[in-house]
Amino acid sequence: MEKAELIWMNGKLVPWDEANVHVLSHGLHYGTGVFEGLRAYETEGGTAVFRHREHLERLVRSAQLYYLDLPYTVDELRSATHELIRRNGFTSCYIRPLAFRGYGEMGLYAQDAPIEMIVAVWEWGAYLGDDGKRNGVRAKVSSWRRISPQGLIPHAKASGQYLNSILAKTETARAGYDEAILLDERGLVCEGSGENIFLVRDGTLVTPPHTASILDGITRRSVIQIARDLGYTVVERDVARAELYLAEEVFLTGTAAELVPVREVDDHDLGEPGEITRHIQAKFEDAVCGRAEEYLEWLDVVEQPSKVTG
C-alpha cells in the first residue's frame, strides 16, 4: 500500500511509520477489535465523506456488541477524520477507523487492557479491479459458510470475524475467481466476502434480509433507497443458491468495492452487466460525487480553512 503522511492514533496525529503497537496487544492475539471502512470523494463542494455519521454510529454499535467502551465520541472521531484528511492533503481516499484492545493484560476477560483507537486514510482504487467494476466479476460460492449468529455476531464489523471472510476469499481466489459468495448456516445466500449482494429476478431487486447473517451494509441501504427512488421494487427476502444462476442480473455493494456487477457465478454465465445494474450504478456514482441533489445530505464535506486574502 502507499503511505500517507499522518495517522490519527489515540488522539494525536503521528507520522505514518510511527503508528505502532506492542506485540502483546490483545487485539493482535484474539482479534478483539472493531473497525469501519469509509470513502471520501472529490465533489464540487469539496472533499466529502460518504455517510460519515452512519459509519461511525455502526462502529459504536459494533463496539457495544463486544462490550468495548470507545474512548472517543462520534463527533470527536468525525472531526479527527476531517483533520486527518486535510493534513494528508487528500481530495479522495479510503478511511479506516479501528478500535482494539491494546497492551496491558492477556487472557479472555482482559477488562484492564486499554482500548486504543486509530484512523488511517490512504488511496484505495477499485477493490475488485477497474475491469471488474466496468465489465463484471467472476464469483464462486465458497465452501465456507458465513459466521453464524449462534457463535458470533454478523451485525458487528469486528476484526476477528474477518478470518471467516479471508478463508472464503482465499479459497475462491486460489481457484481463479475474483470474489467469493458466502451462504449462511442454513445454506441460503448471504453476501460476498466484503460486500452485500443483490439479484434481479423478473425485474425486481432482491437482497438477503438481516436474518441471513449479513452485515447491515451502508452501501446496501443506500442502493435500496436509490433503487426505490428510481421506481424499482426492492424485496428483502431469503435467496436460494440456484437463484444466483437464474437471476437476470447480480451485483455486489460495499464501501471499498462500491457497486460491482457479477457476470458469472459458479461458471454460469450471466452475461454483460445488465440495464438495472448500470442504472443504479450510475446513480450511485452521482450520489457519492455530489452530482445528485437528492442525496447531498449523505455527504459530509471536509471543511477547508478559509483562504487568507489581501
Query: Could you tell me if 241 and 221 are in contact, meaning their C-beta atoms sit under 8 angstroms apart?
Result: no
**Closest C-alpha among 293, 217, 300 to residue 41:** 300
d(CA 61, CA 27): 18
Nearer to ligand PPE, 107 or 149 (CB): 149
Strand partners, 74: none
d(CA 122, CA 92): 9
In the residue annotation, 157 being an active-site residue is answered as: yes
d(CA 284, CA 131): 18
Nearer to ligand PPE, 207 or 255 (CB): 255
d(CA 157, CA 203): 32
- Residue 290, all three cell numbers: 455530489
Nearer to ligand PPE, 102 or 217 (CB): 217
Beta strands in 51-153 (DSSP E): 93-101, 115-122, 137-141
Taking the complex as a whole, the smallest distance from the CB of residue 203 to ligand PPE amounts, in Å, to: 24
Query: Could you tell me if 128 and 71 are in contact, meaning their C-beta atoms sit under 8 angstroms apart?
Result: no
d(CA 162, CA 33): 11
Give the residue at shortest CB distance from ligand PPE. 37
Nearer to ligand PPE, 32 or 62 (CB): 62
Which residues contact ligand PPE by CB under 6 A? 37, 165, 191, 194-196, 215, 217-220, 253-257
Nearer to ligand PPE, 194 or 273 (CB): 194
The one-letter amino acid at 140: K
Taking the complex as a whole, the smallest distance from the CB of residue 214 to ligand PPE amounts, in Å, to: 7
Classify 258 in phi/psi space as left (phi over 0), alpha (psi -120 to 50) or beta.
left
Taking the complex as a whole, the smallest distance from the CB of residue 111 to ligand PPE amounts, in Å, to: 28
Pairing of strands 258-265, 137-141: parallel
The one catalytic residue in 3, 12, 133, 157 is: 157
Taking the complex as a whole, the smallest distance from the CB of residue 57 to ligand PPE amounts, in Å, to: 12
What positions carry a catalytic annotation?
157
